[in-house]
Structure 1
Amino acid sequence: MTDARLSPVLDKIDADLPDALDRLMTLLRIQSISTDPAYKESCDSAADWLVSDLESIGFDASKRPTPGHPMVVGHGGEGDGPHVTFYGHYDVQPVDPVDLWNTPPFEPVLEDTAEHGQVIRGRGASDDKGQLMTFVEACRAWKAVHGSLPTKISFFFEGEEESGSPSLIPFMEENAEELKSDLVLICDTGMVAPGVPSIASQLRGMLKDEFTITGPRIDLHSGHYGGPGLNPLREIARIIASFHDDTGRVAVDGFYEGVHEVSAEQKAQWEGCGFDEKAYLEGVGYTQPHGEAGYTTLEQQWARPTLEVNGLWGGYMGAGTKTVIPSKAHCKITCRLVGDMDPDKLREKIRKHVEDRLSPDATVTWDQDLDGSPAAVMNTSRPEFEAARKALTDEWDREAVFVGMGGSIPIAGFFKEILGMDAMLIGFANEDDQIHSPNEKYNVESFHKGIRSWARVLAELSD
């Protein structure tokens, strides 16, 4: 793609930034919280807004009903380059606790900060409305300047990503032929460090589970039964402590089956990617990493599996004291998976670990409705990945890097399993965007250069 064709698109993006921010602000005002039925109409409104916006730039777009919140699908463009599908989600997380927000979460504002310059403050600014609109705005600029898009493009937006995507797989299976393309682009990730453009090369998978340990059939008086009585809270604490050894390694038998060591070449690239370990740790109040000994912070985050206790409760939790031995104790756990770890087999191993350690008179019951997804490794040998890396390097004036990701984005695996499509994940969020938390923000630089980045990526892909 010649500079003569790309340059006016970039100029248009620069000139149109105030209007692009206004459009994003309008979308951010829609309270599309997918997990709360009270916001069903708002989710519908967000889908309608996106359909209208895509139609305004020439896409054949429509809102598709599901048993939950609707999908948005759009098609447009032509050319000899690859047909790409852009995926994003318009739903957002709940805003609680509201009293910790400095501004109303659905009244987005532009805020000047000393550290980041101007930021967009509001729920969904980074996850995922701001990121989603970077691609839409890149397409808008191409159409405005040239009257056409540089390649064939489809859009696929869902409204249930923040609530487990219950409608996603059935919809993808029922509409497989329409949704298939050469490559799916996902903008729901971030940069490894501020100003360092990043392409995700691997994602950790996820396993969730929850169990309850029961001792006595009712809560007991701790004077009458303290001593001879089995206390489920003490029992569950003992079992949880057995999940890890003193080096931070998970002690569940067979836990590491399917885990692969990181190559020396990959380690070298990660070491030079600009990641600031000190800032990463100190930003949340740590002085040192606390994971598996013998591995760097990035290896622990991107390439090693975990077993985390996410919730632990039981007994009396009100004001003051209540002298009881509780009947039940509860625990929620999650595991981040890497390599070829099988979530179903791992679930069996973890449950066996717990059941083998139960004391007499203790029983365990398990939640039967929790799911799991394997890790995903991207096909970075495809030429589109190098084309995108060049585009990002040109825009950010800093070599783009292939990085791992500690989080889990099951949609990437679903595109591969259901539609046979490889995914390329490029995002412009920063570690401190406070997604899922009060005062979520998205740097205006991320939004602006994100739009320009996608314009460059489309130019490179069309070649």
Structure 2
Amino acid sequence: MWPAVTFTSIAIALLGSLVIYLRPTSDDPLLKLASDNSHKYDNDLLELAKIASISSLPEHSTDIEEAAKWLVKRLRDAGLEDVKLLHTKAQPAVYGQWLHASGAPTVLIYGHYDVQPVDPLELWTTPPFEPTVQREGKGQGSFTGRGVSDDKGGLLQPIQAAEAYLKAKNALPVNVKFLLEGQEEIGSPNLAEILEEHKDLLSADMALSADGGQINEKQAGVVLGLRGGIAFEVEAQTVGQDLHSGLKGGSVQNPIHALAQFVAELHAPNGSVAVDGFYKGVREITAEDRADAAAFPFDEEAEMQSLGALGPHGEEGFTTLERRWLRPTLEVVGIYGGFLGAGIKTIVPARATAKISCRLVPDQDPDNVMSVLMRHVETHAPPQTRLTFTPLPFRANPYIMPRDTVANRAAAKVLQEMFGSPVFFYREGWTIPFFDLFASHLGIQPVSFGFGLPTDNVHSPNERFRVSMYDKGREAWIRMLQEIANQAAETASSAEPNATQ
């Protein structure tokens, strides 16, 4: 790993003096190669997005395998070495490497090839697994299809960047390792096992995530932290079987009514979560955190209008961004029971179910939060109601990292060059389990370097990925790999006491 490499003072000084000449320029052959191959790269995404690699649905297990094999071939075609599948109890991960940049840092690049389910299907304007692309003028237009933004377009960009280097220059400026998993959309349940089993194989100086996005097409940012998460299910049962509502209605407890009462009481009138112990360990919001949120380019009124929302809502005493980035939440993500078909069926149902997810912030412990929620369910059942608590396979620790790291400095510099505007450091509300898993199992703190947009309809019908961001992200990855080498050289040079003598 590069910090342990010993350089002579003269070599370090010379390397530092050459940094300015190493940054790719617009006439660089590898940038030209990347630009000239845009049609090929379009086909990459269209081919990969055709594969219905839905990790949450067992009937798509063969699609998961097909996507993994497709990526094995694509990594090999790009010039990566030792490409193979890392098998788990379920979906495999894909690994590849190029390790011939002597003395340079090693970068572990993460992405995921699994996607979300597509329902409701009737809201798609085109079939979700028949992806399309329309290029309209220079960099305009969009890809449409499930997974084009999250994360198939994202994970292809660093592969294409590595390929451009290897074809144009027969070398990369840093050592790279790829880990592409197929379980992110279900909480990466087997990723820890992979990291432990292959710890030596996956060792690196830093990690970059191709799963993520930018603030908008003209404004970039570096994410310093993500919320963690857990999920569970609560079933309410009041009778042994569905009953005729004319014969029994009004004389027995209705589980949908009871569950609705229970769910409504999970929050206090001020918007806080009304569960004893839920906020244990929650880190206080710092002045720097508030300053980041206040400086962030956010038009609350415009966003509410675009979302079709009647206005902001949430925990009192916090701004919208503070609620999203810095405070934990509890959300009912699904509720069902009784007759759901067309028309009417006059019954008192026997059961009703709510699915609930929580987003967690530093320093909340997911196991502790799950424990206090289970205790709450056990002690707050409405009258004549049995509540059953079932944890669901979604669990991730919250993640936070320092601002001043080699990877963050490199990302900020490249993004400012690419977007032409100052880069914001900020936190995000979503959850990607691998961030904390990499930190806890490999001892490296990943940096998000993705190029999706908030308007990409991720996890929704008509998911899209703008052509401009697909192209820009590819060039950004090319620049990022070189900038990491530059930053590492500058860091080594400044750390060497005799480097400038």
TM over 0.5: yes
Cα 1:55–1:420 change in 2 (3 A) is same
Larger mean CA deviation between 414-423 and 90-99 belongs to 90-99
CA gap of 1:278–1:138, structure 2 versus 1, over 3 A, is farther
1:175 correspondence with 2:198: yes
Secondary structure of 2:33's match?
helix
The match for 2:444 among 421, 436, 447 is 421
Partner residue in 2 for 1:53: 74
1 CA distance for matches of 2:306 and 2:37?
A: 34
Within 2, Cα distance between the matches of 1:37 and 1:98?
18
Q: 1:325 to 1:48 in 2, by over 3 A?
A: closer
Aligned to 2:94: 72
**Of the candidates 203, 213, 227, which is equivalent to residue 204 of structure 1?**
227
Change beyond 3 A, Cα 1:4–1:422: closer
How far apart in 2 are the matches of 1:215 and 1:324?
13
SS state at 2:269 partner:
coil
Greater shift, 252-261 or 182-191, is seen at: 252-261
Structural mapping, 1:265-284, within 5 Å: 265-284=288-307
The match for 1:391 among 411, 414, 418 is: 414
Aligned to 2:379: 356
**In 2, Cα distance between equivalents of 1:20 and 1:227:** 63
Letter in 2 for 1:363: R
Cα deviation 1:184-230 (Å, max 9, x = unaligned): 11021111233211221111111111111222333344445444423
Pair 370,421 (structure 1): closer, same or farther in 2 beyond 3 Å:
same
1:2 aligns with 2:20: yes
| Residues 433 and 442, structure 1, Cα contact 8 Å, conserved in 2 | yes
Which whole-Å CA distance do the structure 2 matches of 1:44 and 1:230 have between them?
47
Q: Which runs of 5+ in 2 are unaligned?
A: 1-18, 487-501
Aligned-pair CA distance for 1:255: 1.7
Match of 2:311 among 259, 272, 288: 288
Q: Deviations over 1:83-136 (max 9, x none)?
A: 11001111222333333222232332223579x931111221101110111111
Quote how far apart the aligned CAs of 1:180 are.
Answer: 1.4
Q: Give the match's secondary structure for 1:126.
A: helix
| CA–CA distance in structure 2, aligned partners of residues 355 and 386 of structure 1 | 48
Structure 1 residue 360: deviation in Å?
4.5
Distance 2:23 2:232 in 1: 52
- Tell me the CA shift for residue 150 of structure 1: 0.2
Would you say 1:328 and 2:351 are equivalent positions?
yes
Corresponding residue of 2:188: 165
Q: Distance in 2 between matches of 1:322 and 1:52?
A: 53
Alignment match of 2:283 (pick from 253, 256, 260): 260
> Percent of aligned positions with the same letter in both sequences?
37
Report what 1:231 is aligned to: 254
Secondary structure at 2:200 match in 1: helix
Which residue of structure 2 lines up, in the alignment, with residue 32 of structure 1?
Answer: 53
Q: Equivalent residue of 1:176, what SS?
A: coil
TM-score (norm. length: structure 1): 0.93
Match of 1:303 among 326, 329, 343: 326
- 8 Å contact kept, 2:87–2:93: yes
* Change in CA separation of 1:329 and 1:4 when aligned onto 2, cut-off 3 Å: closer
Query: Which residues of structure 1 form unaligned runs of 5+?
Result: none
C-alpha distance after superposition, 1:340-369 (max 9, x if no partner): 111221122223333333245322212155
User: Aligned partners of 1:193, 1:314: CA distance in 2, in Å?
Assistant: 40
Partner secondary structure for residue 347 of structure 1: helix
Contact 2:395–2:433 (CA<8 Å) still a contact in 1? no
Number of aligned residue pairs: 462
2:23·2:483 contact (CA, 8 Å) conserved in 1? no
**SS of 1:427's equivalent?**
coil
CA–CA separation in structure 1 for the residues paired with 2:420 and 2:481: 18
Structure 1 counterpart SS, 2:457: coil
| Residue equivalent to 1:19 | 40
1:123-138 superposed matches below 5 A: 123-138=146-161
Q: Partner amino acid for 1:44?
A: E
The farther-off stretch of 311-320 and 402-411 is 311-320
User: What residue number does 2:497 align with?
Assistant: none
In 1: Cα distance, 2:243 partner to 2:66 partner:
52
Alignment-derived partner of residue 317 in structure 1: 340
Question: What is the aligned partner in structure 2 of residue 405 from structure 1?
Answer: 428
Alignment RMSD (CA, Å): 2.2
- Provide the rounded CA distance (Å) in 2 between the counterparts of 1:17 and 1:420: 36
